[in-house]
Amino acid sequence: MIITANDPKRTSWLEVMPNCDFPIQNIPFGVFITKEDVITIGTRIGDFAIDMNALQQLGYFDGIELTDSVFLQDTLNDFISCGKKTWREVRNRIAEIFDNNTPTLRDNEKHRDAVIFAIEDIEMQLPVLIGDYTDFYSSREHATNVGTMFRDPNNALLPNWLHIPVGYHGRSSTIIPSGINIKRPVGQTLPKGETVPVFGPSKRVDFELETAFITTDGNLMGENIPIDHAEDFIFGMVLLNDWSARDIQTWEYVPLGPFLAKNFATSISPWIVTLDALEPFRTASPKQDPTPFPYLQQTGDHAFDINLEVYIQPEESEAKLVCKSNFKYLYWTMSQQLAHHTINGCRVNSGDLMGSGTISGSEPSSFGSMLELTWAGKNPIQMPDNTTRTFINDNDTVTMKGFCKNENVRLGFGEVTSKLLAATVKY
């Protein structure tokens, strides 16, 4: 089925400002709550949120095989379970309904009032019920930087890294949508040069610039997802900030991996941009040497050209752009991550979230964490208010943005933003 929703020439009767992340070629999916406390699945064009349940009740999805209440839900999990053919049909239909030349909804004021909301009148929710959360470690530059700082500069990449898309199982209970503030975690750390740990608020709270993909279900326990089908199991992508307490991490994570240093908060952007929408931005990923095992081999291009930015805004100050990176720098692709994740028969469910790992490029300005940008605190970053940062201070707001752009279309993810508040846990 052709992705007619991607037609770059199409314009909408809803106003879309230049440089907006949500032209009619995007049509992401999310969950929002209205001022009347109605929670619904929706999409976005320009600065308008569109109630997809209302569209369905008014007959706009007639002819597409959907259950009656698939959009009258507080999560996208059931819709995601419908599978790629249905996602595509719905996205194509939405493009048609909002096409400049389609009068049906455009000229029906009563229907418009039921379906369309100004973006400032709604509140975004977490888009999916995330059963399981995995975080990969797929940027060669990031793994090399951290290995250089924390381990051996001469053997910065661990011996498994070029063979396995390394990952760890995270925790979904503290995944939050953009706009929710977080608190500085407390925990055990080992001060430099000491042999006995101390206890208190983390002094090294960091961001990690990541994207994540959301899966659909289909493989049973004991079955794998072959790499050539992996993209059919990916509903779409979001931006992800894997908040990390570096001092807690270095003390706790040997030998079993990240634990409390990374499960206090993980922020995601609320609109899921489908792989279909990203299709025009498909591009090559770095060449892999050594050649991976056959279950990780694929032909064609499996990365996407997604520009990524991170801003830090101190309280009462302008924001500072601290990092510019790109999703295409990642060594391991999403299909390789998913093929690897399931090769042992591990089942994935609708709504599982798979973090890319920190996305660093080769330029220092593209490093995806403060740990790398300041080289473990050695090179502080100047802020617009003349303060400096080695890690994130109390009341700093960290914002990540992501967008794709070619000669025809610009579309994006919006942002994931969150403020770090002071620790409040009693200790």
Ligand X SMILES: O=C(O)/C=C/C(=O)CC(=O)CC(=O)O
Task: Write out the binding residues for Mg ion, residues 203-262 only, by CB under 5 A.
Answer: 242, 262
Q: Which of residues 110-139 bind ligand X (CB under 6 A)?
A: 135, 137
Q: Distance between CA atoms of 5 and 24, rounded to whole angstroms?
A: 8
Query: Does the footprint of Mg ion cover residue 356 (CB under 5 A)?
Result: no
Name the phi and psi angles at 333, rounded to 5.
Answer: -85, 170
Catalytic residue among 142, 302, 340, 341: 142
Question: Does the annotation place 295 within a ligand binding site?
Answer: no
Contact pattern for ligand X over residues 245 through 284, marking x by CB under 6 A? -------------x--------------------------
Nearest-approach distance from CB 130 to ligand X, in angstroms: 17
Using rule CB under 6 A, residue 358 touches ligand X: yes
Between 99 and 242, name the residue whose CB sits nearer to Ca ion: 242
Closest residue to ligand X using C-beta atoms: 357
Which one-letter amino acid corresponds to residue 410?
Answer: R
Query: What letter represents residue 206's amino acid?
Result: D
266 binds, among Mg ion, Ca ion, ligand X, none (CB under 5 to 8 A by kind): Mg ion
Nearest to 11 by CA among 25, 29, 22: 25
Tally: H helices and E strands in the chain: 10, 26
CA distances (Å), 322 to each of 40, 382, 390, 392, 395, in order? 35, 10, 12, 12, 17
Work out which of 242, 252, 372, 415 binds ligand X, going by CB under 6 A.
242
Residue 399 marked ligand-binding: no
The kind and range of the H/E element at 232 are none
C-alpha span between 275 and 344 (Å, rounded): 25
Q: Is 89 or 242 the residue whose CB approaches Mg ion more closely?
A: 242
Dihedral angle of Cα 27, 60, 11, 284, to the nearest 10 degrees: 30
Q: Using CB under 5 A as the criterion, what x/- string covers residues 109-128 for binding Mg ion?
A: --------------------
Min separation Cβ 262 and Mg ion, Å:
4
Is 341 one of the annotated active-site residues of the chain?
no
DSSP state of 83: -
DSSP state of 285: P
Give binding residues for Ca(2+) as ranges.
135, 208, 210, 242
Question: Which sequence positions are flagged as catalytic?
Answer: 142
Interface ranges with Mg ion (CB under 5 A): 242, 262, 266
